[in-house]
Amino acid sequence: MAHHGGRRRRGVVMRLVIGQTGAPTAVVNRSVAGFLDASREHEVLLARGGPDALVRAALDPLPPGGLPAGEVERGGSWLGGGRRATTPEDVDAIVAGLAARDVDGLCLVGGNGTMALLDAVARRATERGVALRTAGIPKTIDNDLDGVDHAPGYASAARFVSTVVQDIARDHRAMTSIEPVRIVETMGRATGWLALAATLPVTGDDEHVVHRVHLPELGFDVEEFLTDVAGLVERHGRALVVVSEGVATDLTAAPIHAANHTTLLVGGVARRLAELVTTRLGLPARGEVLGVAQRCASHLVSAADAREAVEVGGLAAATLLDPAAPTAVMVGVQRRPGPGYRAHHPLVPLAEVAARVRTVPERWRRRDPADLGDFHAWLAPLVTPQADSTAAIALEAS
C-alpha cells in the first residue's frame, strides 16, 4: 500500500519493517509468513540480509503476492540472514533510517543477540522521541534464548539430530571391526541443547544408543575423555560419542565467543578428538561434523515447531499493530501445565532476554544418556513428525 505524504495513520494503516538476523532455521519462513498474514492490511517493508540492511536503511517493499507459497516450507531464509557486531553508531543509524521512512513498528527475528539489538533500538528511539513500536520473534536452533521453554527452530533441528544420529549408530555398529570409535559433532557454541537431542532413544531400538554426550556446560578434560573412551570400547566393543562444537575449544582455536557470532565456525573438534583417540589409544576413530544440515533440513520439520513458528510470527505483528499492547517485547513460547503438550505465547520484555545465554539446566548436565530420562520426556513431544499437519500450517500461513 502507498504511504501518502509521510503522514502517520495510526489505527488505519501502519508501516512495519521485518528483518532477520543470524542464520536460517527450517521453520523461519513460517514465522515470516505468520507475520505477513497478520499484517496483511498494513504496509510491510523488508530488511533483507540482516542488520546491515537496517544500518543502511535498505528497506524493500513487499513484492506483489508477498511471500511465495512455495517458500513457506523450504529451508533457508526468504529474508536472508546476516550478522554484525553493531555499535552505538549503528543503532543511531537504524533509528534515524526508520524515522526517515516514517516506520511505525520494527520486528526482528533471531536469538539473544538479535533481541539485544532490538532492545538497543527501542531504547534509542525512546531517547530521541521517535514513536517506534518493537517486537521480537524468537529463532535459534541452539535453544540458548531466555524467555522461552524452547525456541522455534530448535525442535526441528533436534529432530534432525536425533534421527540422523540413530542412523549413524546403526552404521557404526556395522563398522565396529574397523572403526571402533566414532565421534559426532553437533552445533552449539556455548550450550549443549542440540548435543543432548542426539541421545533421544528410539522406541524398540535400545541397542543403538549414544554412549556419551559432552556439553560445554560441563567443561572438558582430554585425559578423562580418553580414559572414558578406552573403557567404553572395552565394555561395549565400540564407543559412539556426541560432542557439542563448543567443547574443548582450546584444541581447535575456534572463535566460539566472537562478538555476535560474527566469525564463521566450520566444525572440527570431533575430528581433532578422533585424531587424539587414534594417536593416544591406538584405536581407529572417525570424527563426523553434522554441519549446517541441522538448521535447514526441511524434510525433518516437527509439527510443533512448524505450528509455533507461525504463531509467534502472527503474534509479533498483532503486538506491533495494537497500540494498547506492550512494546519492546519478544513473543515467548511456554508450556501450559497439565497433561499432553500445549504451548502459549506470553510477551517478554526485551530487557529480560537481550544478550542472555540460556544454558542447559543443572539437572540435565549429564554425560551418560541413561541419566537423561527427564530430558527425553521434555524433548519427545517437540520432535514428532510433521505428519499431515503440513497442509493446515501452509493454509494458516498463506
How many other C-beta atoms lie within 10 A of the C-beta of residue 82? 20
Among residues 139, 154, 234, 231, the alpha carbon closest in space to that of 186 is found at: 154
Please tell me the chain's helix, strand, coil percentages from 3-state DSSP, rounded to the nearest 5.
Answer: 45, 15, 40
Residues serving a catalytic function are 142
Q: Cell 549429564 identifies what position?
A: 366
Q: Count Cα neighbours of 131 within 13 Å in the Cβ-side half-sphere.
A: 10
Instruction: Give the containing element (helix H, strand E) for 331.
Output: strand 329-331
**SS3 labels along 146-179:** CCECCCCCHHHHHHHHHHHHHHHHHHHHHCCCCC
Pairing between strand 181-186 and 285-289? parallel
Angle at which helix 222-236 crosses helix 269-281, to 10 degrees, equals 70
Q: Which region holds residue 4: left if phi is over 0, alpha if psi is between -120 and 50, else beta?
A: beta
Backbone angles phi, psi at 348, to 5 degrees: -115, 130
Report helix, strand or coil for 198.
coil
Which residues have a Cβ under 8 Å from the Cβ of 165 and sit 6 or more positions away? 184, 198, 210, 242
**Most distant CA atoms of the chain, gap in Å:** 77
Strands in 212-214's sheet, in edge-to-edge order, are 212-214, 239-244, 181-186, 285-289
Pairing between strand 343-344 and 334-335? antiparallel
- Sign of torsion, CA 117 119 121 127? negative
Expressed in angstroms, the distance from the first to the final Cα of the chain is 18
